[in-house]
Structure 1
Amino acid sequence: MPSGFTTRPPFEQAPADLRAAIEAAVGSRIAGTESIHGGMSPGPAALLTLRDGRQVFAKAVAASMSSESHLLYLRELETLRVLPPTVPRAPLVAGVEHDGWVVVVTEAADGPALGPPWRSQDVATVADAIATSAALVDLPTLAPAIARMSDLDGWRTLADEHPDRLDDWERARINGLVEISDGWRTWTAGRHLVHLDVRRENAVPHGDAVWLVDWASACHGAGWIDTASLAVDVLASGHAGGHQVSLSVAQGLLAQLPYEATRFVVAVAGMLRCSSFLPAWPVLPTVRDRQGHRALMLRPLVERLVSR
């Protein structure tokens, strides 16, 4: 299981009445379960084989487990209900709200999530999926990017409030890091569909393409955001060809985008670095280490971007 992820309980441990509610929603009894572990929610997830022959993916969480995850699942259901069929996503089969639980049930993809590590063909396939999604504008009900993004003022927060936490490399460049990141609330705005959580765990092969999954953070914003996020994850998660290849692939993705995408990557690095100092999150006890590691992995790219 990747660092920073949680251990899910087996789906078989879900309450019997919740399983019955799922069966009623999908219109078939559950014949078999294959529990899936890992992720950023403490609730169970599984591939469910139904008596009618279908296979679906289900993830569930109770508000008592994590009120934040519960809210995110409800938000994802709202988003999946308005996404048009052209969006490369796992189609929604059913949404269940029962006795403090919420369950998202989608069609099952052909394969597990991509990586680790990234491979160039997978990067290209995900980039194509992102282009298809980003072509959509003015979808109803979606919030603006600023309402869904993490605080991207990390470099300014460290500079103003915690300069002692900066290492020598950061201290020598902090003015440039802050200047490049400033204004993100303005330059991330836009009308395009944005997934906002593009990473290898959220890209699953299906046929000759991929589905983007976990749409809880979907919003409308600048059309380049998801491609820039892909560049971040390629470098932070690694490429099969090694670090220099991952750096080259990330730079290649950014080279196609406006300068604001460069600013976004620098700001994300600051957000990760600043977040790594926050108190541990009980649901994801190692997530702060993960954030610190990803910030460090982005440094070679950030150094090149800041020195441009």
Structure 2
Amino acid sequence: MPAIAWEDLPADIQHAVQDNAIAGHIVKAEPRTEGIMPGLSAHIHASGDDDAAFVKAVPVTSPAAGLYRRELAANRALPAVAPAPQLRWGTEAAGWIVMVFDWLPGRSADLSPGSDDLPAVLATVERLADMLTPCPWPDALPVADYVAALTEKAHRLLAKPPHCVPARDRYIRAVESFDPADLSGDVMLHYDLHPGNLRVAGRQVSVLDWSFACRGAAWVDLAVLAPRLIEAGNTPRQAEQLLSELTAWAQAPDQAVVGLAALWTMFREYKSLYGPPDVQHFRAQAANAGRAWMDHRAF
């Protein structure tokens, strides 16, 4: 999908953003190119009190429209004190889904070994689990619904010739022993924790992009963070040692962790081979981290 610029929004939508979410007059909309989500991402600069905001928008005809709708609903459900950018305004109108957030300065989290960011990131993830229990979003999908998409890609990958799937037998054993019921819980999960969704400013960490928010057990967010820690340079042992400091990790059933790790990795294996060319490299890096974790688990 071609990149969307602020100028591509209908005039009525631009005016609505101005009237409902911006103090002062919009003087510049600076495109932001981080991430792989289609749609408009722009840093809005305004006159007056030097107001700044972040706007996301996508046509309702986009394949990503469902994710935008879920992100809008999830942000409306988040408590005001949550470590996340404050949603100023959002709407679905004139064929567009639009969200405007407070602009958060800072940078992506550094998850590498010994990083000063690691304690704050882990503390924030644990605090979120406490804050979002019980789940404040009544319509949140169960995380098992998202994992079903991983399972579908896993079966597609396993249907390829055996030489195309390294460690195929281990994958099969992990999937066959996996029970999605082990994911159940009443925590509002982010389900997509990675450095780009963790904004660090000083000692503060904010969690961005809630488009995959769902309901499940608190340990699930830690399980999807584990391969990101490995991708950042931690060994699997180091990654699990970091997670072991959090209460929820002790509640994670070993068999369920292994199954979810296998499904998470196979999804990225599949996307690295057959997904859009512009993201294959990133998917391959993630798959490599997932395989390293699976080797460590030695299932």
Pairwise same-fold verdict (TM > 0.5): yes
Pairwise CA distance, 1:201: 0.9
2:155 and 2:91 map into 1 onto residues whose CA distance is: 42
Out of 23, 36, 44, the residue aligned to residue 40 of structure 1 is 36
CA distance in 2: counterparts of 1:12 and 1:113, whole angstroms: 27
Q: Which runs of 5+ in 2 are unaligned?
A: none
User: Would you say 1:266 and 2:262 are equivalent positions?
Assistant: yes
Name 2:84's counterpart in structure 1: 89
Query: Counterparts of 1:186 and 1:277 in 2: how far apart (Å)?
Result: 30
Task: Report how many residues are paired.
Answer: 286
Q: Using the alignment, how far apart are the partners of 2:112 and 2:282 within structure 1?
A: 16
Superposition pairs of residues 223-242 of structure 1, within 5 angstroms: 223-236=218-231, 238-239=232-233
The alignment yields a C-alpha RMSD, in angstroms, of: 2.7
Aligned residue for 2:194? 199
Q: Is the 8 A contact 2:237 2:296 kept in 1?
A: no
Task: State how far apart, in whole Å, the 2-side matches of 1:118 and 1:110 are.
Answer: 24
SS in 1 for 2:133: coil
Q: Shift of residue 87 of structure 1?
A: 2.0
Deviations 1:109-138 (A, max 9, x none): 121333586763223222111111111223
The 2-side partners of 1:105 and 1:149 are apart by 29
- Residues 142 and 252 (structure 1 numbering): CA distance in 2 closer, same or farther, change over 3 Å? same
Give the residue type in structure 1 aligned to 2:298. Answer: V
Tell me the distance in 2 between the aligned counterparts of 1:38 and 1:110. Answer: 14
1:20-59 mapped onto 2 (5 Å cutoff)? 20-28=15-23, 29-53=25-49, 54-59=51-56
User: 2:163, 2:285 → 1: CA distance?
Assistant: 15
What is the distance in 2 between the residues matched to 1:116 and 1:8? Answer: 29
| Aligned-residue offset at 1:60 | 1.3
Partner of 1:76: 71
Q: 1:249 to 1:12 in 2, by over 3 A?
A: farther
CA separation in 1, counterparts of 2:7 and 2:238? 41
TM-score by length of 1: 0.81
Q: Give secondary structure in 2 for the equivalent of 1:143.
A: coil
Deviations 1:239-275 (A, max 9, x none): 3xxxxx3434322234452223344223311222234
Q: Which runs of 5 or more residues in structure 1 are unaligned? A: 1-5, 240-244
CA distance in 2, matches of 1:46, 1:132: 29
Q: Which residue of 1 aligns with 2:298?
A: 306
Q: Report the AA paired with residue 27 of structure 2.
A: A
User: Which stretch of structure 1 is more off in the superposition, 224-233 or 20-29?
Assistant: 20-29
> For 1:81-120, what aligned pairs fall within 5 Å after superposition?
81-115=76-110, 120=115
1:21-77 per-residue CA deviation (whole Å, 9 max, x = no partner) reads: 21022154312332211322332211112234221111111134x2x3222112111
Which one of the candidate residues 244, 253, 262 is aligned to 2:242? 253
The whole-number CA distance in structure 2 between the counterparts of 1:286 and 1:304 is 30
Residue 251 of structure 1 aligns with an amino acid whose one-letter code is: E
Deviation by residue 1:177-236 (Cα, 9 ceiling, x = unmatched) = 3345x21x1111111121011111111124521111111111110111111211111223
Q: Residue 151 of structure 1: SS of its match in structure 2? A: helix
Does structure 2 retain, via aligned residues, the 8 Å contact 1:46–1:58?
Answer: yes
Deviation readout 1:274-293 (Å, 9 max, x if unpaired)? 34444x44xxx423443233
